[in-house]
Structure 1
Amino acid sequence: MCSLRIYCVLLTTITLCLASAETADPEDKCPADVAPRQCRLRESLYEYHLWNYFAGFYCYNYTNDARLLKRYKYESYAVLCRNEPKTVPVAIIDEKTSVFYDYTNSTAMHYIQRSFKSEILFKNFLTCCREAVDCCKHHMNNDNIMLNSTHCPAVWDAWSCFPPTPVGTMAKLPCSGQAYQSPDAVCRLESEKECIQNGDHADWISQTNYQTCAIAPIYRRRYNFHIKFLGTCVVFCIPAIVIFLVFEKLRKTTRVVLHRNLLIAICVRNAMTIMSKEIVLIDALKTSAYTHHIMDNNGIGCRILAFLETSSINSIYACMILDGFYLHKVIVRAFAKEIKMKHVYIALIVLTFSSSIPWAIAMAALEAKNCWMVDIHNLQWIVDGYRIVILVINTIFLMDIIRVMLLKMKHGGTTRQTMAAFRATLFLIPLFGLHILITAKKLVYDDSCAAEDLYDYARYSMESLQGILVAILFCYANKEVKNELRNAYRKLAIHLNQKYGWNIGGEAIYNNRRATTATYVCK
């Protein structure tokens, strides 16, 4: 028992020594044989050899709260610089441990990393430290950091490195990654820092304007635009789905059933996407005082929502390839055996979940955060690869259909038939989903926010227009559907006339009936 107590005392002593070693200064940090050199950080000048400590401190101290699990408090610690006493900030880890903010000190960074929510966010902090050192080392000297009457001095403001700037002008730099809640790359925005005349010398306004770096309003505008277009698409699709379900003739036609399934899949996908954007993504863009922290909490509900959204997107692709396969069979292999609907629905289920389930398993295995809606593990290829394969297959189907149509036109097709054939081909593009190829890969290589807005708005519009075009082309503008609606209206008008004496639709419905009209009445 005594030996165990001695061992514990020795272990505690060693631990305390290791912790104190982080805050102990073993030697003078500023070599006497090296010419003094300073760098400007905000309003103060710091010795070059102490720069790491202050750069790390400011990068950490101004890190967005959304990136931290907790923020360490700090205190000043005495060091020597050319035998002169100086102080540098140290992070207070606990009652017994304090560490420097020096990003080159691996032991200190081990403690600092614990306060970040993820390794990626911590690496973003290290990037800030390296940029601060680069600013001091390559963009500052003992001349350009001094105040003068014509130019504001070179300065590191804790996030950005502003060069000497003429008085009365506004310096602009690309926004630092530290200005955002997440480390993801965003479109190019610029921070602003104004150089003004301050008495007999030029000086910076102390506060850099980073409000121009606010990316949340841009994302909110894009998401709201997407939500409105998806809602419009649902409004267009639901009546078409009802029409396809109500009329028995349409309900029993395989081609129409496949179109109906595609519209249903589009509506379900739109509903899932609207929910994920409204409940999770837009909520994450709100300030901490107004957000519900759904993405940060990473609850099972939002992860299920992400899985359902991914599966619903897959279901659209599954419907598209089934539609493509069937139309290819009808046009190219007209005498092939008719498809059984039981097999269609089995294929639809298999295709819907064949990539979303492996994706969900991989996300769960890696304990992915952010409600599985931010791909930091590069797992999106699991579902994207599946979707690309479907688009390629549908492209092959379409090319073969065009080939057969051209052959038919070559053997006696009239001009009217030619136009009808090409029009039919154009109708197949939204049905086959080939329009998605235009926005499948970002074609705008300009990293400005205006260019990205143009790309995202075009992508969202095309995504929403697929359902609208399918509903219009294969339902509202379809002659077969119009005939069914016309017959239904005629039945209703005749029924109301016979039962209540109402004359709906004019005398033409009753006076111009063909002899076969009774067939419709008696049905």
Structure 2
Amino acid sequence: MSPLPLLPFLSLCTFCYLQSEAGQVLERTIEEWMRYREECYQKMSSTPKPMGLHCNRTFDLYACWPDGSPGNVTNVSCPYYLPWFPKVRHGLVSRRCGQDGLWATMNGTQPWRDSSQCEDDAEVTTDEVVTRNLLLSFQALYTVGYSVSLLALISALLILTLCRKLRCTRNYIHANLFFSFALRGISVIVKDILLEKRWGMQIIEVTDWEILISNEAAIGCRMAQVVMQYCILANHYWFVVEAVYLYKLLVGAGFFEKNIYTLYLYLGWGTPLLFVVPWMTMKYLKENSECWALNENMAYWWIIRIPILLASLVNLVIFMKILKMILSKLRDNQKGYPDYKLRLAKATLTLIPLFGIHEVVFIFATDEQTSGILRYVKVFFNLFLNSFQGFMVAVLYCFANKEVRSEILKKWHLWKLDRTAQLCRP
């Protein structure tokens, strides 16, 4: 089958993709089109053929046509798979049967039909164009953010793991947090690539649509979605680990000192499994469609949101306790540090990216529950802060750390001395 007869359907699906989120409308339209096609074939096979000259019954990939009388126009209802069918349910699509018993064509090849009554009158408005461009800009923003963060995090991980003098529980926890950020960035980028590959595949044959919406074709992007949700949860629970460890240091607690790092590993990497596995199970059993990116039943989505909310609230409580302790200590040393308010503000700004406190602001305002300007403001701040947060954390807790800079300077001086010694040898 040549690709040309599919052009009307391709135009339809292009419209569906641009008007939907994550291709949901597109997938449903394809499924309805396939059901319409099967019903058409069954109807054609079960209806007796007329005697004499006539235009043969056919399915032209757009509508189902009965046998036509020579010299007459055949009308059928607009196909129900059209996304805008409720608007055109009383409309008709027409084809002309020639005197020779052949359907009329254009340019001698393409079938002629009048589908003007079945077309959607709605034009793409300026607001829709602006919205689409804005969302594309957001995607470019967080792609750059995650890429920059990824480079910074990998560099920070190499520094913390290769320098022996930097190996301690505190830096091990930092390294796990960096690694969770890196995994989160990689999983988001991979998920976007798989979605683009899935919905951007070249369509030539009708069977390509069947492959596109099959469960086998969606396995890759669904697994990417699962991995991404795990990485996001792990990232949040390593925030909790950082908060608990810092609070423990400030209060001078020494409980379970020998096994505390193992407990931190279970908390950071093990806790997300307790929520991701049930969420994945419910998606597979109840919402096993597309790439699991949309949330038709918000109850399943809260399986993921509740642990994030819990982690954010725990961090907020510890954050407030730490600030109270810092404020108390700065007041006690006010004579030596007259700018204690400035130091408190600096400590606050330093802790926010580490604990992810900004998540609390929009924790209840999900994408499905917000609209208009509020939604775009939420999406912008979430994408910007989440994508560049890894970069900020790497800078604050590695590159700007005095201990790390001192160790790097020592390594640099030793390398220069060794290099000089090699050059001075005869």
TM superposition score normalised by structure 2? 0.67
Aligned-CA RMSD value: 4.1
Trace 1:262-411 onto structure 2 (pairs within 5 A): 262-281=177-196, 283-284=198-199, 288=203, 296-299=213-216, 300-334=219-253, 336=255, 338=257, 340-366=260-286, 368-378=288-298, 379-411=300-332
Amino acid at match of 1:72: Y
Amino acid at match of 1:66: I
Amino acid at match of 1:354: L
Once the two structures are superposed, residues 74-93 of structure 1 have per-residue CA deviations (whole angstroms, 9 ceiling, x without a partner) of: 9xxxxxxxxxxxxxxx9775
Give the Cα–Cα distance (whole angstroms) in 2 for the partners of residues 63 and 485 of structure 1: 54
- Aligned partner of 2:125 in structure 1 is 190
1:360–1:473 Cα change, 3 Å:
same
Aligned to 1:419, which of 342, 346, 352? 342
Amino acid at match of 2:261: M
Alignment check: 8 A CA contact 1:281 1:295 kept: no
Give the Cα–Cα distance (whole angstroms) in 2 for the partners of residues 328 and 465 of structure 1: 25
Alignment check: 8 A CA contact 1:223 1:277 kept: no
- Aligned partner of 2:149 in structure 1 is 233
Give the Cα–Cα distance (whole angstroms) in 2 for the partners of residues 293 and 406 of structure 1: 63
SS class of match (1:375): coil
Q: Point out the more displaced range, 430-439 or 298-307.
A: 298-307
SS class of match (2:296): coil
Alignment check: 8 A CA contact 1:430 1:469 kept: yes
Give the Cα–Cα distance (whole angstroms) in 2 for the partners of residues 312 and 385 of structure 1: 15
Question: How far did residue 468 of structure 1 move?
Answer: 0.8
Question: How far did residue 322 of structure 1 move?
Answer: 0.5
1:281–1:217 Cα change, 3 Å:
farther
Once the two structures are superposed, residues 395-448 of structure 1 have per-residue CA deviations (whole angstroms, 9 ceiling, x without a partner) of: 000001111112222323322444334312211111101122344454999845
Amino acid at match of 1:238: I
1:298–1:453 Cα change, 3 Å:
farther
- Aligned partner of 2:393 in structure 1 is 470
Aligned to 1:72, which of 36, 45, 52? 36
Amino acid at match of 2:276: S
Trace 1:96-135 onto structure 2 (pairs within 5 A): 128-129=85-86
- Aligned partner of 1:485 in structure 2 is 408
Trace 1:203-214 onto structure 2 (pairs within 5 A): none
Amino acid at match of 1:492: W
Alignment check: 8 A CA contact 2:240 2:315 kept: yes
Amino acid at match of 1:332: V
Identity between Structure 1 and Structure 2 (%): 19
Question: How far did residue 238 of structure 1 move?
Answer: 1.0
Alignment check: 8 A CA contact 1:296 1:370 kept: yes
1:409–1:334 Cα change, 3 Å:
farther
Give the Cα–Cα distance (whole angstroms) in 2 for the partners of residues 63 and 356 of structure 1: 25
Alignment check: 8 A CA contact 1:298 1:371 kept: no
Give the Cα–Cα distance (whole angstroms) in 1 for the partners of residues 396 and 389 of structure 2: 11
Amino acid at match of 1:68: E
Q: Point out the more displaced range, 317-326 or 253-262.
A: 253-262
Question: How far did residue 332 of structure 1 move?
Answer: 3.1
Give the Cα–Cα distance (whole angstroms) in 2 for the partners of residues 381 and 248 of structure 1: 42
1:335–1:345 Cα change, 3 Å:
closer
Aligned to 2:357, which of 415, 419, 434? 434
Give the Cα–Cα distance (whole angstroms) in 2 for the partners of residues 292 and 126 of structure 1: 17
1:313–1:319 Cα change, 3 Å:
same
Aligned to 1:494, which of 410, 417, 420? 417
Question: How far did residue 230 of structure 1 move?
Answer: 1.2
- Aligned partner of 2:166 in structure 1 is 250
Question: How far did residue 160 of structure 1 move?
Answer: 6.3
- Aligned partner of 1:260 in structure 2 is 175
Once the two structures are superposed, residues 37-83 of structure 1 have per-residue CA deviations (whole angstroms, 9 ceiling, x without a partner) of: xxxxxxxxxxxxxxxxxxxxxxxxx9985353516369xxxxxxxxx
Give the Cα–Cα distance (whole angstroms) in 1 for the partners of residues 411 and 396 of structure 2: 20
1:476–1:216 Cα change, 3 Å:
same
Question: How far did residue 307 of structure 1 move?
Answer: 1.4
- Aligned partner of 2:93 in structure 1 is none
Structure whose alpha-carbon radius of gyration is higher: 1
Structure 2, unmatched stretches of 5+, are 1-25, 48-63, 65-78, 91-115
Amino acid at match of 2:283: M
Give the Cα–Cα distance (whole angstroms) in 2 for the partners of residues 246 and 435 of structure 1: 32
Give the Cα–Cα distance (whole angstroms) in 1 for the partners of residues 84 and 190 of structure 2: 35
SS class of match (2:213): helix
Q: Point out the more displaced range, 273-282 or 411-420.
A: 411-420
Amino acid at match of 2:222: R
SS class of match (1:487): helix
TM superposition score normalised by structure 1? 0.55
1:396–1:451 Cα change, 3 Å:
closer
Amino acid at match of 2:306: G
Amino acid at match of 1:260: A
Question: How far did residue 298 of structure 1 move?
Answer: 3.2
